A and B are shown apart, each in its own frame.
Chain A
């Protein structure tokens, strides 16, 4: 009796650090593996810069009014100089200001598209993998059909039906993005559902919802995180592509793809106008891709080199 009591007090006496010993070790291992990976750190840095710029953007840009349709015809199409770092566009707006403010829009697009895709794809994948049978067959065949059409084309078709605009573009991209998650999560669920700990949960009477969300989902998390990171980049590319085609964000919204779409009319003499938004897209997407690679390296030991 006294023995049990002293054991409990021992447990309570343990500090937070001691109680979470194994988790801390795990995080340490992960961060060390990650930190040793140069390109992953570079990707993380790019993504952090991108997020910080998106947050503080409106306070650091020199000409905030240029993103909401100001017109300064007397300084239109000026090459980059000390005042206008990236030059000015056809109505005299500062390209640097618009590129910086574009990050905020871009981060929103990336989060919304990837978020909706995960919210649709992950539950469907888990249901398919866990239930099996006809349900799985139906969900997976529908997924296959979506995966067998080039995504951008399908997005264009959807935007064509709904009408151009940033909201419709995001909706269209989300609608073509979820199938990848279904396939990923279904395969993982299928593998996990016969694990011993799932059997154990089932045998002590856990319901299917509990098993799926409490026991299977956390173990699917790492591939979802990796794919999510990669997809943020791809969603940015997709949204910029739609913007470039005139189907996404409409001017004067400072969206990078839409900016390039107008700027191409001013090539080659006013090259800076299309050059800098493109570089911004490239660097951002590169950051998310490298980050995704790095995450895969730490979360999925099979891919470590």
Chain B
């Protein structure tokens, strides 16, 4: 297991380098001369050349890539034209909101998705199963941004149950930061009214964000449960007189959870992509909104920063899932 973890970590480091190579290449496919761009429209040829050598843009590509790596490692991620702050500071600032939203959404998707998948499998081909299938089939096809707008329209504007957007009311003071995660901090500081308010704000964006993931989790879990429920050991367990609850919940679900977990890992990445959409619908002050605002304004370095952070986050999740997977299923360990 230790060997598996070490090997998997090495692979992760390699992938991270690959990711940086991608962002580096993307910054080089951008049309226009970056040195001329940085020097401004009135710069003389001499000034452009000076900037070129200052930023190392006259060096060979490989050397430039190592300079780029060095910059990333030392925290120099460039500067945002939009916010005029260093990109790293911005990312540190915006990351917690995205993290909280994504973790909350995936938790909702798992908590709802796994039981619904089990119920659909146990009551296969009954009206209940069909009703659940409507969710699981339509969920993947719904455009997340549109779903966000529609739940906003209905639950926030029509019914007034939830606030329209943002992480917290304008007038409310956020709790003193401990973890920088708003909900967690509010709990830790004992500010329950702020916590409830934050919870109120996170519901709609989380629902919009979790829908596709919820749909896939239901689908995979249902299919796996059906397969497990037909296995001999289940028949045997039933024959021994174990209760249905025990057979389904303990015997079948445990085995069905492995592929479901792989799906959760995959969907997590989609969710990270989805934050871009949901955050711009709900004005959620996270990395997604930051990336979109930068992209619309052709503010280049923040987009790359956001790509690296979200990519890293996704790699990290898959890493953790693989480790858990390896612990649960020894056969997986040999495959890396």
Contacts and interface: CB of A to CB of B under 8 A. Distances in A.
B30 A161 contact: yes
A300 to B, nearest CB: 13
Nearest to A161: B30
A153 B294 contact: no
Interface residues of B, number: 53
Contacts of A144: 15, 18
Interface in B291-312: 291-292, 294-296, 298, 300, 303-304, 306-307, 310-311
B310 A305 contact: no
B314 interface: yes
A275 to B, nearest CB: 8
Interface string A270-301: 01001101100110011001100000000000
Given A240-B143, A241-B145, A247-B295, A161 B300 contact: yes
A284 to B, nearest CB: 8
Given A144-B15, A153-B276, A157-B304, A260 B310 contact: no
Contacts of A290: 137
Contact of B274 (A142, A146, A152): A152
A160 B22 contact: no
A259 B27 CA distance: 30
A159 B295 contact: yes
Interface string B236-277: 000000000000000000000000000000000110111011
A149 B276 CA distance: 14
Interface residues of A, number: 47
Nearest to A303: B223
A158 interface: yes
A277 B277 CA distance: 16
Contacts of A285: 140-143
Given A245-B296, A267-B149, A267-B152, A157 B137 contact: no
Which among A149, A158, A247, A278 has the highest number of chain B CB atoms within 10 Å? Answer: A149
A286 B141 contact: yes
B209 to A, nearest CB: 12
B107 interface: no
B277 A241 contact: yes
B199 interface: no
Nearest to A154: B307
A233 B212 CA distance: 13
A145 interface: yes
Interface in A223-249: 233, 237, 240-241, 244-247
Interface in B138-181: 138, 140-146, 149-150, 152-153, 157-158
Contacts of A278: 143, 146, 149-150
Contact of A286 (B14, B21, B137, B152): B137
A160 B295 contact: yes
The B contact surface, by secondary structure, is helix
Nearest to B274: A152
B145 A244 contact: yes
Given A148-B314, A158-B26, A268 B303 contact: no
A161 B26 contact: yes
Which among B138, B146, B269 has the highest number of chain A CB atoms within 10 Å? Answer: B146
A282 B211 CA distance: 13
The A contact surface, by secondary structure, is helix
A7 interface: no
A151 B22 CA distance: 13
Given A149-B311, A282-B142, A245 B277 contact: yes
Interface string A131-147: 00000000001101110
A16 B270 CA distance: 49
A29 interface: no
A268 B153 CA distance: 6
Given A142-B18, A153-B307, A162-B29, A241 B143 contact: yes
A260 B153 CA distance: 13
A39 interface: yes
A48 to B, nearest CB: 17
Interface string A118-141: 000000000000000000000001
Contacts of A241: 143-145, 276-277
Contacts of B60: none
A157 B23 contact: yes
B57 to A, nearest CB: 16
A268 B144 contact: no
B146 A153 contact: no
A160 B291 CA distance: 9
Contacts of A233: 141
B226 interface: yes
Given A142-B18, A157-B303, A268 B158 contact: yes
A148 B269 CA distance: 8
B100 to A, nearest CB: 18
A253 to B, nearest CB: 17
B80 to A, nearest CB: 13
Contacts of A218: none
A162 B31 contact: yes
Interface of A: 39, 141-142, 144-146, 148-154, 156-164, 233, 237, 240-241, 244-247, 257, 260, 264, 267-268, 271, 274-275, 277-278, 281-282, 285-286, 289-290, 305
29 contacts: A145-B19, A145-B21, A146-B22, A148-B269, A149-B19, A149-B311, A150-B314, A152-B276, A152-B277, A153-B272, A153-B273, A153-B306, A153-B310, A153-B311, A156-B291, A156-B295, A156-B307, A157-B23, A163-B298, A237-B141, A237-B143, A241-B145, A241-B277, A245-B277, A247-B296, A260-B145, A260-B149, A282-B142, A289-B140
Q: Please name the 5 residue pairs, one residue from A and one from B, whose CB atoms are nearest each other, closest first.
A: A145-B18, A152-B273, A278-B146, A150-B273, A286-B141
